[in-house]
Structure 1
């Protein structure tokens, strides 16, 4: 028998909270990225936003939700390397999507292409994470649920990319983060409800137990969140950026006048 909430329903709100937090931080960083005209600086900030959305908002949510996944009378272990690789994929595909729409001229076609690429990549991340599960039973995925999960991922990714490009008000970003978190959780649990268990695999499970990964993952997530929060808090506001630009313009004017006087 498959259990999706083997530790009780606490994993569901916890996964949602982590996803919403990562999404909010990512949207705030993406807003700051839009304020820069130089492609280099914009790309840097968009990459940080991808780390928040893809790493915390999507992948950590997946890991937290997987803590509740269990199969009675079966052993489930996780390959640490494959699990880590799925995190890299989540961050990379979100970064690609943000860079596609964030650099150059924005268009709906670019948004659609970025959403398709990112959505498929996020779904691939999920199934890579599932491939990291080593079990002494045969695990398969119902094709109908796989298709549904991929479609949800594409819609969720497109929505997230569009919101990251358009939102300015902080209050609206919290609401948008709730929508994004709901979509990510919906995609995850849709895919998980499509997991089917066959007979014994005939192989011994290998890897680490999910409980053994909690402490390093919680520590890493806490550090990343603190860094992201510090980054969001310390970035200059739009008014501060305008003031800085005016001061730079005035200083350049004085230097030009000095050069002309000499």
Structure 2
């Protein structure tokens, strides 16, 4: 078996990956909380898309990508198939979106949350192993079935908890604490799956096709920056449920009618025809 390193650059890649996961989780939980309070169907779809991008794209997939920056196998270079890598990101976003729709559509209940969590968790696991399938290296990749199952279970539990927090939690302090916990769960799922990976070196190494992870770094980081800025802007400009209630209250008030003008006569003057 080839020697594998998951922390080639020390604590930097897991720390940055965890930070991005917390930021994405926080934005995703806030966006998810806006879904049920949306004024109409279009707004609800809009918040589902934003929450899916935040959770699936930033919190989950970007954490996976940053962690892979520190992944190395002794004796071989690593290349990534770009279309498959992009497909893994799409899988994460779509899975989270479907899970949010299941969990937030109709009457809230445990069955919907569990169903949405299972769909989202399986999607997250599919994203991880699709991303791993995009790797090209001089060797054959194998996985420990026990750790693979454990990573899938972690993904399902984490996704279910994320959906529950997204539809129930409102207080900012609790949201931030929830995002910190979600970051731990997402990172734990990733490194659990990676711990079950093994590489058998190839005897006849050839040329590797694909892009290096460093060549993908700049475009992906730029995409993350624009997505985060867009999510923050959308949250700042969009009216909250309290804002809509206040606006509805003021709209319901009847405007005060002006008092009728009263005829005022000047003292000392009499109209024509007055007597005495």
TM-score, structure 2 length as denominator?
0.87
SS of 2:179's partner is helix
Unpaired segments ≥5 residues, structure 2: 257-276
Cα contact 1:135–1:204 (8 A) shared by 2: no
Greater helix fraction, Structure 1 or Structure 2: 1
Of residues 131-140 and 231-240 in structure 1, the stretch that sits farther from structure 2 once superposed is: 231-240
Where do 1:161-172 residues align within 5 Å?
161-172=163-174
1:204 and 2:222 correspond: no
Where do 1:70-85 residues align within 5 Å?
70-85=72-87
1:231 and 2:229 correspond: no
1:204-231 C-alpha deviation (Å, 9 max, x unpaired): 3210000111111111111111111111
CA distance in 2, matches of 1:193, 1:49: 29
TM-score, structure 1 length as denominator?
0.92
SS of 1:33's partner is coil
SS of 2:136's partner is strand
1:124-166 C-alpha deviation (Å, 9 max, x unpaired): 0000000000111111111111001001000000000110010
Where do 1:36-47 residues align within 5 Å?
36-47=38-49
1:168-213 C-alpha deviation (Å, 9 max, x unpaired): 1111100000111100000000000111011307453210000111
Report the alpha carbon displacement of residue 40 of structure 1 after superposing the two structures with TM: 3.1
1:128 and 2:130 correspond: yes
Cα contact 1:138–1:201 (8 A) shared by 2: no
Cα contact 2:103–2:115 (8 A) shared by 1: no
1:91 and 2:100 correspond: no
SS of 1:7's partner is coil
Moved over 6 A (4+): none
Report the alpha carbon displacement of residue 43 of structure 1 after superposing the two structures with TM: 2.3
Q: Max radius of gyration: which structure?
A: 2
